[in-house]
Chain A
Amino acid sequence: MVGTDLRQQLNNYIQSMRDQGILDNQFQSVQALKTEENPHFVLETVTGFCNDADNGIAQMTRYLEGPVVDFTNLTGLSHFLRGSSSSIGGIRMALACRDLRRASEANNKQGCIEGMARLKHEYNSLKEGLNNISQIERQMIGNAQRGRQ
């Protein structure tokens, strides 16, 4: 069955991401929140998260690359993204945010630069994985809707 295959495909994919440490159990919790009334929950949450993260990282890059590093805002934003990413299950990205925050709190510019680079890397992995998951999700939802029709 396509539906089953897709679900299996999704689960496998998520598992691989978990194996890599990109995702943790939290993502499962988020998935569990999907309901019949709200089948798009995961999709919407993931989309929202990626938007926030894209904006946040762009903003943090600006803070870091300005003539004077804006550590205060950098700290705040890295803390923000830490919360976001951990809520969605992006544990590695969350850890990268934490480290970046520490560097920023210490006004350590070099540390921030390295931390930022790592954060971007982790985010890219996470984002790619989430996009793939979203794709499968969309397919599943589409199939389910077609199935109902």
Chain B
Amino acid sequence: MATMQRVVAAAQSSVSTSGGGGGGGGATNYASSKGVAASCASGTAATELVVISDQFPVGLRVLVVDDDVTCLRILEQMLRRCRYQVTTCSQATVALNLLRERKGCFDVVLSDVHMPDMDGFKLLELVGLEMDLPVIMMSADGRTSAVMRGIRHGACDYLIKPIREEELKNIWQHVVRKKWNENKEVEHSGSMEENDRHKRGNDDSEYASSANEGTDGILKAQKKRSNVKDEDDGELENDDPSTSKKPRVVWSVELHQQFVSAVNQLGLDKAVPKRILELMNVPGLTRENVASHLQKFRLYLKRLSGVAQQQGGVSNTMCGPVDPNVKLGRFDIQALAASGQIPPQTLAALHAELLGRPTANLIPGMDQPTLLQASVQGPKRIPIEHGVAFGQPLVKCQSNVSKHFPQSMISSVEDVSAGFGVWPSNNVNTVVPSSNLSGLSTQNSNMLMDILQQQQRQQQQSQQQSLPPEPSRTINVQPSCLVVPSQSASFQAGNSPASVSQNCSFNRNSVIDYSLLSSQSNNSLVNIGHFSNGDLKTTGALSGYSGPGSISPSVSSCSGNADSSMGRQVQSSTITFGNARQPGFVHNMHDIQGSYGSKTGEVLDQGPLQNLGFVGKGTCIPSHFAVDEFESPMSNMNHGKLFMENNGIRVKQEPSVGFMDNTKVGLPVLQQFSSNDIMSVFTE
């Protein structure tokens, strides 16, 4: 079937794609027409949707991670015999970097459970958050408890050593299943759109809701965690597209803000869905909606603290020693982020998780210097402009952040304020989107990054002026991200940062939208719309950037756009993003495209959009998005991000430029993206 073909195409490695060339089905159009070359860093398959169904699963790109070289060697040979494209890694941290650098270059990950540098489950979670790839765990330990643990952590499968070749032959099913489920989610949300629209009464949220559905669905489909049991409420069934047309709740920035205040009021320990619901007093919201959102929120917080402790072991060169006693809390997190203890990736991942998924990965290639620049420069401007009240932390973060470039990227979600500071400081053109994004969600940032990158690539010349000569500059935005995740901030409540974030969060619409934008579902689109509404002005400030050729024009147009138009466009664009290169995504994109119309898709088609994937799940939100950040983005992000990830936007198609180049390139582009830019992209 078409879907299968698309999936297949996605799964094809270079071997297969060579056959597909540029043509494939309609879905490929976006990828190929815009000239976005989804070539993975490995230089293998293009991500274009090439339908090569007859060869599937040949060329499936597998990453194997195991500290046992004997096993690694044997698995590699076996997988080669299955005609898969294998990459091996004996260290989890290296594998994670590889996955981040080469987003979109892998279809499935096989990982051992017990590894010295990182727990396999931690890797599993991070991969799930940031790249949304199916992860298969392996272990010599076949005890039921161990296998159960694997499933709980979200493993697609659990293989017991010694692994036979027959078992490896079938791992492609996990790739297909995931893509199909995501696709279903997307379709589902599309159909739900109408219902949501009426339900919401707010154009922006309409889109968001559909995105939410998708997001939730995807979240459900992909996160088989036992602790996410409550997600079913109000969420579409993954495998049941035709039924359950329950309206989905869109966790907009405001809504999430209300949620967080309610939780803070009750105290996290005592926060029960029923009481939260009462406090929130939102008509139409059900206890189940709150329950599932609470679950995600808790997971997010847990991850935040867990990550903070884990930092020490993770590859990040940038992070400083992790403080095991790190506490959740806006200040804590900010401080951590600032001090570089929480690698941006972690923060992004955390955010992504909270928001629903995609945690964008930092752009590995970002240069520190650029980052520094961004962070060091006058941070306050943006926030003020945008009316976001950033408290002390912002400043603090920035200076600290500057040291850790990558961190900022990740933390984009975390520290909106930080983002702002950075943003303005960097040359507008080059501002790393992430700063703004920080509030948004990693997803957004990823998307932006991608888009930027894409654009960057496509129009290097035109971008020159907007882009800093050194890609690194664009990256600067990141620092802001490091700062405390908005979620935590809001959670704290009562502190100025918290309040600030609260205020900000509302403005964050853009941020959230952005993430949604990236996600396949309409949500992203909606968000964008949202975003544009609130943020147009703010972004306007940023729109000074001359975005990459394709983007800049749109930027100007964006500022003027109404939400609805944005939303609409966003939707389409979202889809496109998703499609951008990810093999799986492409698949999704096509579907989405179909449902939403191809128009915006084109807009997205632009190179940069393709890069969305690069950003990864919610890693860095374009700076302009970051404006709003903090809580609201988080909430939206959750939904949006999740979607994004699912849509595959997350994975970035490697431009031919090469990783590092892409990274750099992407950043500048991304940065230049003001919200308007983003919008314009969609609006085209």
* Residues in A lying within 8 Å of B, measured CB to CB: 26, 29-30, 33, 38, 41, 44-45, 48-49, 52, 76, 79-80, 82-84, 86-89, 94, 98
Contact A79 to B78, CB < 8 A, known contacts A48-B69, A84-B68, A87-B162: no
| Bound: A44/B140 CA distance, A | 22
Contact across chains for A79 and B162 when beta carbons are under 8 A apart? no
Given A48-B69, A52-B69, A83-B112, A89:B162 Cβ within 8 A: yes
In the assembly, what is the distance between CA of A27 and CA of B165, in Å? 12
Q: Does B161 touch A at the CB level, under 8 Å?
A: yes
**In the complex, given contacts A33-B81, A44-B73, what are 7 additional A-B residue pairs having Cβ atoms less than 8 angstroms apart?**
A29-B165, A33-B74, A52-B68, A79-B141, A80-B67, A83-B140, A89-B162
- Tell me, rounded to whole Å, the shortest Cβ–Cβ distance linking B599 to chain A: 50
Q: How far is the CA of A26 from the CA of B81 in the complex (A)?
A: 16
- Is B4 on the interface with A (CB-CB < 8 A)? no
Q: Which B residues lie within 8 Å of A45 (CB)?
A: 70, 73-74
A-B contact pairs, 29 of them (CB 8 A): A29-B162, A33-B74, A33-B81, A38-B77, A41-B73, A45-B70, A45-B73, A45-B74, A48-B70, A49-B70, A52-B69, A76-B114, A76-B116, A79-B141, A82-B140, A83-B71, A83-B112, A83-B139, A83-B161, A84-B70, A84-B71, A86-B161, A87-B68, A87-B71, A87-B161, A87-B163, A88-B74, A94-B140, A98-B140
CB closest chain-B residue, reference A88: B70
Count: A-B pairs, CB below 8 Å: 58
Interface centre among B74, B77, B81, B114 (most CB of A within 10 A): B74
B302 at interface (Cβ–Cβ under 8 A)? no
Q: Is B164 an interface residue (CB 8 A)?
A: yes
Q: Which residues of A contact B68 (CB under 8 A)?
A: 52, 80, 83-84, 87
Q: Which residues of B contact A44 (CB under 8 A)?
A: 73
The smallest C-beta distance from A5 to any residue of chain B, in angstroms, reads 27
List the B side residues contacting A87 at CB < 8 Å.
68, 70-71, 74, 161-163
Please name all residues of chain B whose beta carbon is closer than 8 Å to the beta carbon of A76 when the two chains form the complex: 114, 116
Residue in chain A with minimal CB distance to B116: A76
CB distance from B138 to the nearest CB of A (A): 8
Compute how far the CA of A129 lies from the CA of B472 in the bound complex, rounded to whole angstroms.
56
A96 to chain B, nearest CB (A): 13
Contact A79 B77 (CB under 8 A): no
CA distance in complex: A98, B116 (Å): 19
Closest CB in chain B relative to A137 CB, distance in Å:
15
Task: Give, as a whole number of angstroms, the nearest-CB distance from A75 to chain B.
Answer: 9
Evaluate contact between B141 and A52: CB separation under 8 angstroms.
no
Contact with A along B331-362 (1 / 0, CB 8 A): 00000000000000000000000000000000
Contacts of B70 in A (CB 8 A): 45, 48-49, 52, 84, 87-88
Q: Are B140 and A33 in contact (CB under 8 A)?
A: no
CB distance from A51 to the nearest CB of B (A): 9
Chain B stretch 99-118: residues in CB contact (< 8 A) with chain A: 112, 114, 116
B168: min CB distance to chain A, Å: 11
Q: Kindly provide the distance from the CB of B70 to the nearest chain A CB, expressed in whole angstroms.
A: 4
Please give the distance in Å from B242's CB to the nearest CB on chain A: 44
* List of A residues within 8 angstroms of B73 by Cβ: 41, 44-45, 48
Shortest beta-carbon distance from B571 to chain A in Å = 48
Cα A148 to Cα B77 in complex, Å, equals 25
Q: How far is the CB of B541 from chain A (nearest CB, A)?
A: 54
Q: Which residues of B contact A33 (CB under 8 A)?
A: 74, 77-78, 81
- Interfacial chain A residues near B71, Cβ < 8 Å: 83-84, 87
Task: Give residues of chain B (46-94) contacting chain A, Cβ–Cβ below 8 Å.
Answer: 67-71, 73-74, 77-78, 81
Q: How far is the CA of A119 from the CA of B69 in the complex (A)?
A: 20
Q: Given the complex of chains A and B, what is the CA–CA distance between A87 and B67 in angstroms?
A: 13
Question: By the criterion CB–CB under 8 Å, are B114 and A79 in contact?
Answer: yes
Contact pick for A26, options B67, B69, B116, B162, CB 8 Å = B162
Complex Cα gap A33–B78 (Å): 7
> Given the complex of chains A and B, what is the CA–CA distance between A83 and B114 in angstroms?
10
Chain A residues closer than 8 Å to B141, beta-carbon distance: 79
CB-based contact B162/A86 at 8 Å = yes
Contacts of A98 in B (CB 8 A): 140
Asked if A79 and B140 sit within 8 Å, CB to CB, the answer is yes
The answer for the CA separation of A93 and B139 in the assembled complex, in Å, is 16
- In Å, the complex CA distance between A76 and B117 comes to 12
B residues 131-174 touching A (CB-CB < 8 Å): 139-141, 161-165
Q: A82-B140, A83-B139 are in contact. Are A29 and B164 (CB under 8 A)?
A: yes
User: CB-nearest residue of chain B relative to A46?
Assistant: B70
Q: Which of B282-331 contact A (CB under 8 A)?
A: none
Nearest residue, chain A, Cβ from B112: A83
Bound together, the chains give a CA A41 to CA B599 distance in angstroms of 53
Q: How many angstroms between the C-alpha atoms of A52 and B71 in the bound complex?
A: 11
* Complex Cα spacing A88 to B72, Å: 11
Q: State in angstroms the CA–CA spacing of A84 and B74 once bound together.
A: 10
Residues of A contacting B161 with CB < 8 Å? 82-83, 86-87
Cα A41 to Cα B649 with chains together (Å): 39
Q: B112 contacts which chain A residues (CB < 8 A)? A: 83
Residue in B78, B114, B163 whose CB lies within 8 Å of A80 = B114
Closest chain B residue to A52 by CB distance? B70
A38 to B80, CA, bound (A): 12
CB nearest to A73 among chain B residues: B116
Docked-complex contact A30 and B140, CB < 8 angstroms? no
- The answer, among A41, A49, A52, for a CB contact under 8 Å with B77, is A41
| CB proximity of A27 to chain B, nearest CB, Å | 10
User: Of residues 494 to 535 in B, which have CB atoms within 8 Å of A's CB atoms?
Assistant: none
Question: In the complex the two chains form, what is the Cα distance from A44 to B375 in whole Å?
Answer: 50
Residues of B within 8 A of A26 (CB): 162
A38 nearest CB across to chain B (Å): 7
- The docked-state distance in angstroms from the alpha carbon of A86 to that of B140 is 8
Given A79-B141, A80-B67, A94-B140, are A30 and B74 also a contact pair (CB < 8 Å)?
A: yes
CB contacts (< 8 Å) of A88 on chain B: these are: 70, 74
Chain A residues, CB < 8 A from B164: 29
Closest 3 pairs between A and B when the two form their complex, measured CB to CB: A83-B140, A33-B77, A49-B70
In the assembled complex, the CB of B265 is this many whole angstroms from the nearest CB of chain A, namely 43
Output the nearest chain A residue to B74 by Cβ-Cβ distance.
A87
Contacts of A41 in B (CB 8 A): 73, 77
* Cα A43 to Cα B141 with chains together (Å): 27
Specify which chain B residues have a CB less than 8 angstroms from the CB of A84 in the assembled complex: 68, 70-71
Q: How far is the CA of A79 from the CA of B68 in the complex (A)?
A: 11
Tell me the nearest residue of chain B to A41, going by C-beta: B77
A52-B69 Cα distance, complex, nearest whole Å: 9
A83, B163: Cα distance in complex, Å: 10
Which A residues lie within 8 Å of B114 (CB)?
76, 79-80
Report the Cα distance A45→B74, complex, angstroms. Answer: 8
Most chain A CB neighbours (cut-off 10 Å) among B67, B70, B71, B140: B70
A94 to B81, CA, bound (A): 26
Q: Whole-angstrom distance from the CB of A144 to the nearest CB of chain B?
A: 19
